[in-house]
Structure 1
Amino acid sequence: MSLLRVSHLSMSFGGVKAVDDVSFDIEPGKLLALIGPNGAGKSTCFNIVNGQLRPSRGSVMLDGEELVGMRPRDIWRRGVGRTFQVAATFNSMTVLENVQMALLSREKRLYGLWKPAASQFEEQALALLDQVGMAAHAQRACSVLAYGDVKRVEMAIALANRPKLLLMDEPTAGMAPQERNELMALTKRLAVERNIGVLFTEHSMDVVFASADDIIVLARGKLIAQGNAHMIRNDANVQAVYFGTGKTFQPRAPLSAGGGEAPMEPRA
């Protein structure tokens, strides 16, 4: 049974069709990658699901409930979590306090507090940090963390709302290869354990092919291919439109003699 069902989604800006009759489903516990070249409509489609944009036409159903027309906060309260390309945490707060604030928001206790926030939901926050491997850093300020650890804290913040669906915008942007692999392995494990559907956009094709259960490819607003990694690698439309050269995707090259990472190709 589908957790998220997107049907005939269209969005125009003036005379430009940013998204043109796009449909796809996400099942609980599965990771769906949304990829395509620049200007393909990925961000527009992503932001429609999140409620930041209202489509010209189409439907976005979460567990049978229509999301189109709802505000982002209302969609969040119905179980749609989100992480961002640039990690969104409060740098002046500790790791623990960041997660506590998310829990306070879920319980609608951000206003008119009768006791200090630091004394509330500490146990639940620590449990979430333990799930993402950050419990040992609970009392550290987010400002001193490595970027990969900040992304883990952001994951704990997203999980605080007990999401059914997690939207991840370029989750591995700015991360080293090992950090990318670790974050996506964590995402996959949590998705399966918590039965969460995950929709993510990503430029790194090694991340997409290694992590996604299914992949959808957009080009000029249209869905041109959908399937698993093997199907997408070998799809003629994807090779011609997305990769541009007509060649299939080539794995990441070995490290160069100087220790730097060889450029990955192709990139959107």
Structure 2
Amino acid sequence: MTEDFAATLEEATPRATTAPGLFVCFEGGDGAGKSTQVRLLAEALERRGREVVVTRQPGGTPLGSQIRQLVLHGDHVSARAEALLFAADKAHHVDQLIAPALAAGKVVITDRYTDSSIAYQGAGRDLGADEIRALQHWAVGGVLPDLTIVLDVSPAVGRSRRGDLHDRLESEADAFHAAVRQGFLDLAAQDPHRYLVVDAALPVEQIRAVVAAAVEQVEQVEQVEQVERAEQGGAAQQPPAAGGGGA
């Protein structure tokens, strides 16, 4: 699993973000265990001295929390309105929290990002993955994670893990969650350099180890790019060589 990811990483284009920070996202269906893995990764990185910002979508800002409450727990919201509200949440979230944190060199770990909208509204609500992808990427201004970890869970397992408390999306039928799951897997297949798919049925500690190894690989790319940027900046500041005089 990590060997395959390492192989694709060696062939990868530069990281998705040009900011000095590191951007990691956890995606997957409801009940996949994302919040647990977000916490474990954040704790591990903080022990290594990295400054970490943990957030989620929707709900990573005060405005996002209001949108979360409205869409997931309020009165009926149409599929298109749902997609637009989630896009507004992401635009505000990037502007207010994610972009500033990355610019400051911090690690941002988010529980859900643009891919959730592509999977849930594009595939699950059948609004079209390409249309929702264009909307979401426009909303975030092209700020995409350096690494997206998809915790793959079947609808049946996800349902058993969620228990009795359900928001509007969690309450959807298994057919909806099956479409969402396939939406995530399709996204990962389209860009294997930036995605790592992990079986969410694995033990928590095994998932933690796989995630940690993948993040370390991306950090190595991050460090190389930082050195290259520093060297390019130094070269740009060098005074031009003195030219020889001619008679």
**TM-score category (smaller protein):** 0.3 to 0.5
Q: Could you say which structure has the higher strand fraction? A: 1
Q: Could you say which structure has the higher helix fraction? A: 2
Q: Who wins on radius of gyration, i.e. which is larger?
A: 2
Structure 2 length-normalised TM: 0.36
Structure 1 length-normalised TM: 0.34
Query: Could you say which structure has the greater relative contact order, defined with CA pairs below 8 angstroms and 6 or more residues apart?
Result: 2
